[in-house]
């Protein structure tokens, strides 16, 4: 049965005759290093590559298959590292491995796959260690590695003790530490795409770092377990020394992965600082000059910033989390209205400047008064007075629903002049103070509003979703943003989880006033 490995995972090998192959979206070479317990190549003769195709027990075929006869491998060897690198003979070939699609397979002598490993890469690597085939007692095991090297095969083999006079692969120029558009001027019409490219770079960099760290820890665990397998020697000085060397190897691997990750993080941070003043206000931080500079023209905005993503094990790495705009579904800010107010205000401020067609009008239900510090400075943008009494909620929702219906009919009839200006509807304190039929009216707004420029923010808790079908429907269709607790977001490239911290309107009164004044052109 084929085992699909993840970084750091190991598996026993039932066969001593193996075939290693790798496939990638770009042309690649495969090679192998026969190493000692410190992952140092035994000698230059134990580096099997396109210019030296044989060593004891390891042979590189013309078709790019590494054949291993484990019983014939040098007795001093602790492991064989299976390596891929960019193909130097490929005309006009890329300087780096593809960030997706690199897969390593280890098969038995009959070609039956034993293990498969999809190697996570950032996109800056020109070489990578795919698998480590290592001795364990009298047998052999395989471990998924996934360690990449930006400096290519030359850097990889040098770090494992092979002296090279020239780069093993001719590289015209140094590959940047992080892929992506760091040097590409920002196109305001594609700002959302740029933000997601940065998120993708961060996700892949984080996955690569975690892969290397997990591999180092898994290798250490295996070596420590092996060192105490014999009860008669587990407390001997030799075992203590062996464990210390294993810890040193682990620390060195983690330190190298951390160095690479820190460099990539610094480059991403530099890129974010460089583009922030150039982003449209709907995607920029509130510290950006975009919020204090005069607004010229009506640039198309294709995204909306919700907050920042981070992870506890990734240090200072912070990347913006943005969603496509116009929104296709409502935002539900979950939490106590007073606590949620700065988050609601931040989102509303960005949504009010996001429409390129016309200035959005504001409709607000604020029964508790928690949004007053936001709505009072924006009186000029209010389409109607703020609803502050529960007795007026149903009437306002009915009016809004009818307005959306009329706008839909006008749009279908081609009467564009009859379509009202875009509206942002904020429904605070939901569901408290709302009638039994109000949830259905809100669902109607959520379903039909986006097509005619009506966006919806709901503020409140969803505790009554279990007993109220209307609230349950809204809970299902809305994008929920909690203001307390932890909201995790899985990135679509590596599947790793990130913690979303929603943006809030600035705390400092003058800074907050400056942002709000910019919404009304003051």
* Token pair listed for 437: 């039929």
pLDDT band per the 50, 70, 90 thresholds, residue 101: confident
Burial pattern 59-91, b for ≥16 Cβ within 10 A else e, equals bbeeebbbbbebeebbeebbbbbbbbbbbbeee
User: Do 337 and 485 form a contact (C-beta atoms < 8 A)?
Assistant: no
Q: Which of 22-26, 105-109, 331-335 has the lowest mean pLDDT?
A: 22-26
- Cα dihedral 243, 246, 252, 254 sign: negative
Task: Give, for 19, the enclosing helix (H) or strand (E).
Answer: strand 17-23
Residues in the chain: 522
Task: Provide the pLDDT for residue 185.
Answer: 67
Q: Rounded to 5 degrees, what angle do the CA atoms 385, 386, 392 make?
A: 95
* 289-519: CATH architecture: 3-Layer(aba) Sandwich (3.40)
> Would you call 194 helix, strand, or coil by DSSP?
helix
User: Chain-wide mean pLDDT for the chain?
Assistant: 88
Give every CB contact of residue 91 below 8 A, 6+ residues apart in sequence.
none
> Range(s) for CATH 2.60.60.30 in the chain?
1-175
* Token pair listed for 299: 């640039």
Q: What is the pLDDT of residues 234-272, one digit of tens each?
A: 889 999 999 999 999 999 989 999 999 999 999 999 999
**Residue 18: is its pLDDT beyond 90?**
yes
pLDDT band per the 50, 70, 90 thresholds, residue 299: low
pTM of the model: 0.78
Q: What is the pLDDT of residues 71-91, one digit of tens each?
A: 999 999 999 999 999 987 777
User: Do 126 and 150 form a contact (C-beta atoms < 8 A)?
Assistant: yes
The listed CATH number (3.40.50.300, 3.20.20.140, 3.40.50.1370, 2.60.60.30) that belongs to domain 1-175: 2.60.60.30
Q: What is the pLDDT of residues 366-382, one digit of tens each?
A: 999 999 999 999 999 99
**Residue 175: is its pLDDT beyond 90?**
no
**Residue 33: is its pLDDT beyond 50?**
yes
């Amino acid at each position: 049965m084929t085992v699909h490995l993840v970084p750091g995972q190991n598996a026993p090998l039932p066969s001593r005759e193996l075939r290693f192959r790798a496939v990638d979206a770009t042309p690649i070479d495969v090679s192998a290093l026969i190493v000692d317990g410190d992952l140092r190549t035994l000698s230059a003769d134990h580096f099997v590559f396109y210019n030296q195709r044989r060593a004891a027990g390891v042979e590189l075929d013309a078709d790019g298959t590494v054949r291993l006869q484990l019983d014939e491998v040098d007795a001093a060897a602790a492991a064989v590292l299976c390596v891929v690198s960019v193909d130097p003979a490929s005309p006009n070939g890329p300087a780096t491995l593809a960030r997706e699609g690199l897969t390593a397979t280890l098969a038995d002598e009959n070609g039956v796959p034993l293990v498969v490993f999809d190697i996570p890469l950032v996109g800056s690597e020109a070489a990578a260690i795919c698998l480590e085939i290592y001795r364990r007692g009298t047998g052999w095991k395989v471990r998924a590695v996934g360690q990449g090297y930006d400096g290519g095969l030359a850097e990889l083999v040098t770090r494992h003790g092979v002296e090279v006079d020239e780069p093993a692969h001719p590289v015209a120029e140094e590959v940047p530490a992080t892929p992506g558009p760091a040097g590409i001027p920002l196109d305001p019409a594609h700002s959302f795409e740029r933000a997601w490219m940065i998120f993708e770079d961060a996700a892949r960099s984080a996955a690569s770092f975690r892969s290397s760290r997990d591999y180092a820890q898994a290798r250490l665990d295996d070596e420590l377990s092996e060192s105490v397998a014999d009860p008669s020697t587990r407390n001997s000085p030799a075992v203590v020394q062996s464990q210390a060397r294993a810890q040193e190897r682990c620390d060195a691997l983690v330190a190298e992965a951390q160095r690479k990750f820190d460099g990539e993080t610094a480059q991403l941070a530099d890129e974010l600082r460089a583009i922030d003043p150039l982003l449209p206000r709907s995607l920029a931080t509130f510290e950006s000059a975009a919020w204090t500079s005069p607004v010229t023209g009506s640039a198309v905005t294709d995204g909306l910033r919700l907050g920042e993503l981070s992870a506890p094990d990734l240090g200072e790495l912070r990347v913006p989390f943005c969603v496509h705009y116009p929104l296709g579904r409502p935002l539900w800010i979950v939490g106590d209205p007073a606590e949620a107010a700065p988050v609601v205000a931040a989102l509303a401020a960005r949504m009010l400047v996001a429409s390129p067609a016309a200035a959005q009008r504001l409709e607000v239900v604020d029964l508790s008064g928690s949004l007053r510090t936001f709505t009072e400075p924006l009186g000029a943008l209010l389409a109607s007075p703020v609803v502050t009494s529960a007795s007026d909620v149903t009437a306002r929702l009915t009016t809004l629903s009818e307005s959306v219906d009329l706008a839909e009919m006008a749009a279908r009839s081609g009467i564009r002049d009859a379509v009202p200006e875009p509206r942002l509807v904020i429904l605070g304190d939901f569901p408290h103070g709302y009638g039994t039929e109000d949830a259905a009216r809100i669902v109607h707004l959520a379903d039909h509003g986006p097509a005619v420029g009506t966006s919806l923010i709901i503020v409140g808790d969803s505790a009554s979703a279990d007993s109220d079908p209307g609230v349950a429907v809204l809970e299902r269709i809305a994008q929920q943003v909690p203001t307390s607790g932890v909201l995790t977001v899985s990135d679509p490239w590596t599947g790793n989880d990130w913690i979303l911290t929603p943006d809030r309107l600035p705390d400092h009164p003058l800074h907050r006033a400056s942002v709000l004044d910019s919404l009304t052109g003051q």
